[in-house]
Amino acid sequence: MHQGSERQADEKFKEFAPIYRKQYSLAYLSQIRDELEQRKEEHTQLLKQRASPEPGKVLYEENVQCFDDSRKWKDRYIVIRANYVLECYESYKRFLKGSPPLHRLMPTGGTILTTEEKYMEMINQCCPCTNVQEDFAPPVADMPGQFPVYLRLPYRRDFYFCFQDENSQVEFISILSDCVRHQNKDFLKKTKCEVKAFLKAIQLYRQEKGQYESWDMLLGSDVQHDNELSIDHLCHILNNLLVVYHVP
């Protein structure tokens, strides 16, 4: 079954490749034409946007309670820079020593929730089976604070944080929301012909499959798109296998 899924995924990428190559050629020619005609950049906003901060600038740093892989709450040092990637260090001392972070989280497509009830509603929609709570949400009784933050991520492990006071929770949610927004949309704002070709190729590829609705997974970088495109097809393949073999 594993080899069959890999084979079908390879076939999907082979179908996608010629579409991308054609769109890249068109986008490249369009770029050359624009340069020759020296078109002025269109300003779609009345107010000039502020210059983006340097990617290395620290926007947030704080000790935060995190629920780790051992299903225990640990005090971690969280740093978020202007590249909108969450860096989780073992401790502040490790951070000062220049040690690499335990995790570098790009929260593309993430959903932020503050109650176990809302979080489990999302989990149950994705995994409508019984007894999933023990495998996902941290036990409320063991939380080190009264103000949790649940970060639900598509096709990846979720992350959980906890705070002692509401102000700290609100501050963290604000910067985390910025991270999600930038990781979702910054790639789409690029004007490189590679980006334009990639986005157009995905649209045409899905239309060939009879899918004309908007696609919420069109978020993040081209590498993430590739991964999600593959996972999306593999999920459909798996669902078809479940139907064929009458798996409940």
Tell me, what's the pLDDT at 3? 60
For residue 196, which of 15, 14, 30 has the smallest C-alpha distance?
30
Is the model more confident about 227 or about 34? 34
- Over residues 161-183, the pLDDT tens digits come to 999 999 999 999 999 999 999 88
In a domain, 78, yes or no: yes
Domain total for the chain? 1
In a domain, 245, yes or no: no
Residue 239 has pLDDT above 50, yes or no: no
Question: Which residues on neighbouring strands pair with residue 103, listed in sequence order?
Answer: 88
Confidence grade of residue 241 (pLDDT, cut at 50, 70, 90):
very low
* DSSP 8-state secondary structure symbol assigned to residue 130: S
Q: Are 188 and 203 in contact (CB under 8 A)?
A: no
Q: Across residues 210-218, what is the average pLDDT?
A: 57
Output the DSSP codes for 17-51: HHHHHHHHHHHHHHHHHHHHHTPPPP---SSPPPP
In a domain, 226, yes or no: no
Is the model more confident about 229 or about 141? 141
What is the span of the domain harbouring residue 174?
Answer: 58-185
**Token representation of residue 126:** 């994705």
Measure CA of the first residue to CA of the last residue in the chain; give whole Å.
18
CATH number of the CATH domain containing 136: 2.30.29.30
Residue 216 has pLDDT above 80, yes or no: no
In a domain, 106, yes or no: yes
In a domain, 223, yes or no: no
